[in-house]
Chains A and B, each alone.
Chain A
Amino acid sequence: DAGVTQSPTHLIKTRGQHVTLRCSPISGHKSVSWYQQVLGQGPQFIFQYYEKEERGRGNFPDRFSARQFPNYSSELNVNALLLGDSALYLCASSGTNYGYTFGSGTRLTVV
């Protein structure tokens, strides 16, 4: 079975631009969460979606938004990119057994 799939794996953007990151959860998992990991730190929670509804939001500005589609895949959007948005963005999916499976992440570099 495929694990959590994230695309793209690497991305370089310019300050002020917009970016969309994508995540496909494990088949059968209805919950998707997004995390930001800045170099040298632990991942920080951004959003959680379950059955297409936002269930949780971390301490991130409104430039960050997300959505979940009927097939449970998800997109994370970041507007007006800042240098400080450079990070590894991780997606995690979960089913009913309280286990969270992470993807390999998207490495975003803002220049």
Chain B
Amino acid sequence: DAKTTQPPSMDCAEGRAANLPCNHSTISGNEYVYWYRQIHSQGPQYIIHGLKNNETNEMASLIITEDRKSSTLILPHATLRDTAVYYCIVRVTDKLIFGTGTRLQVFP
């Protein structure tokens, strides 16, 4: 069973920040949150992951609430190529539990 809940779709204007929310209220203390995206049924592409602290890399930032029950993926300057399905995932031992994802549409 999925451990994450995401809105099914979101829109974002090109050049603006895209903020994708995720609820994972049943997450356990040692379970990581991962974000992947998938374009046109290609293999999922890794974006970022974290446990407790906020994380940032060249692609995105991950903000995790203090109680760890929710997180937000931030794409700081969305481009048309960021249009994809974004999955918020909880890693349970060595398996990734995917939800249904958010379809992000970036428009000009």
A103 CA / B99 CA spacing, docked (Å) = 19
- The A-contacting residues of B in range 31-45, CB under 8 angstroms, are 32, 34, 36, 41-45
Asked whether, in the complex, the Cβ of A88 is within 8 Å of the Cβ of B41, the reply is yes
Question: Which of A45, A55, A102, A103 is close to B97, meaning CB atoms less than 8 Å apart?
Answer: A45
Question: Can you list the 7 inter-chain pairs with the closest CB atoms, starting with the nearest?
Answer: A42-B98, A102-B43, A45-B95, A104-B43, A102-B44, A43-B98, A48-B94
Interface residues in chain A, defined as those with a beta carbon under 8 Å from any beta carbon in chain B: 4, 31, 33, 35, 37, 41-45, 48, 50, 55-56, 58, 88, 90, 92, 94, 98-105, 107
> CB within 8 Å of A: which residues of B?
2, 32, 34, 36, 41-46, 49, 87, 91, 93-101
Listed A/B pairs (22) with beta-carbon separation below 8 Å: A4-B43, A31-B94, A33-B96, A37-B41, A41-B100, A42-B2, A42-B100, A42-B101, A43-B44, A43-B96, A44-B98, A55-B94, A56-B93, A56-B95, A90-B43, A90-B44, A92-B96, A94-B94, A98-B32, A98-B91, A101-B46, A105-B43
